[in-house]
Amino acid sequence: MAKAIKKQVLGRGLSALLKNTNDDILSVQDKNAAKLIGNIVEIDIDAIIVNPYQPRSFFNEEALRELANSIKELGIIQPITVRKLEGNSFQIVSGERRFRASKLIGNTKIPAYIRLANDQEMLEMALVENLQRQNLDPIEIALSYQRLIDEVKLTQEQMAQRVSKSRPSIANFLRLLKLDPIIQTGMRDGFLSMGHGRALISIENQEEQLAIYEKIISEKLSVRQTEQLVKQLKNPKPRKLKANKETPAYITKATKSFREFFGHKVSVKISGNHKGKIEIPFHSEEDFNRIKKLLQ
- Work out the burial of residue 139: count CB atoms within 10 Å of its CB; fewer than 13 is exposed, 13-18 middle, 19 or more buried: buried
Contact 33, 61 (CB under 8 A): no
CA distance 120 to 124: 6
Please provide the CATH number assigned to the domain covering 12-117.
3.90.1530.10
Give the residue range(s) of CATH 3.90.1530.10 domains in the chain.
12-117
- Higher pLDDT: 144 or 16? It is 144
Q: Which is catalytic among the residues 96, 124, 129, 140?
A: 96
Q: Is the pTM of this model over 0.75?
A: no
Active site residue 121: no
Query: Which residues are paired to 272 by β-bridges?
Result: 275
pLDDT single digits (tens) 153-199? 888 898 888 888 899 999 999 999 999 999 999 998 888 999 999 99
Query: What pLDDT score was predicted for residue 249?
Result: 76
AA letter at 264: H
Mode of pairing for the β-strands spanning 80-84 and 90-94: antiparallel
Query: What pLDDT score was predicted for residue 4?
Result: 39
Query: What pLDDT score was predicted for residue 7?
Result: 47
For residue 131, pLDDT beyond 90:
no
Torsions phi, psi for 40 (to 5 deg): -95, 120
Determine the distance from the C-alpha atom of residue 195 to the mean position of all C-alpha atoms in its chain, rounded to a whole number: 7
